[in-house]
Amino acid sequence: MTAARALLHPAAKPVLFAACLLPLAWLVYGIFADRLGANPAEYLIRAAGDWTLRLLCLTLAVTPLRVMFGVPPLARFRRMLGLFTYFYVVLHLVCYSWFDMGLDVAEIARDIAKRPFILVGFSAFLLLTPLAVTSFNRAIRALGAKRWQALHKLVYVVACLAILHFFWMRSGKNDFAEVAVYAAILAALLGWRVREWLLRKRASRSGPQRA
């Protein structure tokens, strides 16, 4: 079975859905099995944030992989990956709000205003929210294809804010190795898009050649 045929199989989406839930299942298991280390609250917050970043990278990788390897069916999975990215960022925010802030809205607001890396992370969440809300076909029809595409380009801003949030969070411990890996992946994915945009622009400027 070719890769394209496998991706078009009716079971492909359910398999991806189950795979995206595995990190949550592991965290729930860790809670009940007491396997989240000495500080379970911090582990949950960090793990949810890590999976947000991983799924954001996977979402942004769909188009380059589809184009470079000539596998159009990969596009079927971009929406699901994007929605799971949002799911884990919501989980990240809920864990922070609950375990660190005790769901105290006033204290959360003060913490966001006081700590730049929290402000940057919260800004990324706010920008990601309209993308999740408008990820359905009805929203695309309501907005129109051009406006919808323009809105969803905010994901590139979200990616930059996510890396900045991660960088500032790790700066306290002077631990940037993992940050560098994610930054390199996102730089490659965004750089590919810039290159494609420049190629299209150059092609449109040259126009059709006359005989």
Each residue's pLDDT tens digit, 112-170: 999 999 999 999 999 999 999 999 989 999 999 999 999 999 999 999 999 999 999 88
What mean pLDDT do residues 84-107 have?
96
Cα→Cα distances 98→112, 121, 134, 151, Å = 14, 16, 27, 31
Instruction: Name the token pair of 136.
Output: 């359905």
Determine, yes or no, domain membership for 136. Answer: yes
User: Which residues form the domain of 11?
Assistant: 3-203
Determine, yes or no, domain membership for 211. Answer: no
Q: pLDDT tier at 91 (50, 70, 90 boundaries)? A: very high
Question: pLDDT digit string (tens) for 1-11?
Answer: 577 788 888 99
Q: pLDDT tier at 204 (50, 70, 90 boundaries)? A: confident
What mean pLDDT do residues 54-80 have?
95
| Contact by Cβ (8 Å): 73, 7 | yes
The pLDDT assigned to 173 comes to: 77
Half-sphere exposure (CA, 13 Å, Cβ side) for 114?
6
Q: Which position has the higher pLDDT, 203 or 106?
A: 106
| Other CB atoms within 10 Å distance of the CB of residue 184 | 10
The pLDDT assigned to 211 comes to: 41
Q: pLDDT tier at 175 (50, 70, 90 boundaries)? A: confident
Determine, yes or no, domain membership for 113. Answer: yes
Give the integer Cα–Cα distance in Å for 23 and 58: 15
Cβ contacts of 144-150, under 8 Å, gap ≥ 24: none
Determine, yes or no, domain membership for 49. Answer: yes
Q: Which position has the higher pLDDT, 8 or 25?
A: 25
Determine, yes or no, domain membership for 181. Answer: yes
Determine, yes or no, domain membership for 209. Answer: no
Instruction: Name the token pair of 97.
Output: 């709000």
What mean pLDDT do residues 20-47 have?
94
Residue 30 three-state SS: helix
| Contact by Cβ (8 Å): 147, 130 | no
Determine, yes or no, domain membership for 68. Answer: yes
Q: pLDDT tier at 207 (50, 70, 90 boundaries)? A: low
Domain count, the chain: 1
The pLDDT assigned to 2 comes to: 78
The pLDDT assigned to 150 comes to: 94
DSSP 99-155: IITTT-HHHHHHHHHH-HHHHHHHHHHHHHHHHHHT-SHHHHHHH-HHHHHHHHTHH
| Contact by Cβ (8 Å): 101, 107 | yes
Sign of CA dihedral 99, 132, 54, 159: negative
Percent of the chain with pLDDT over 90: 83
Q: Is the pTM of this model over 0.75?
A: yes
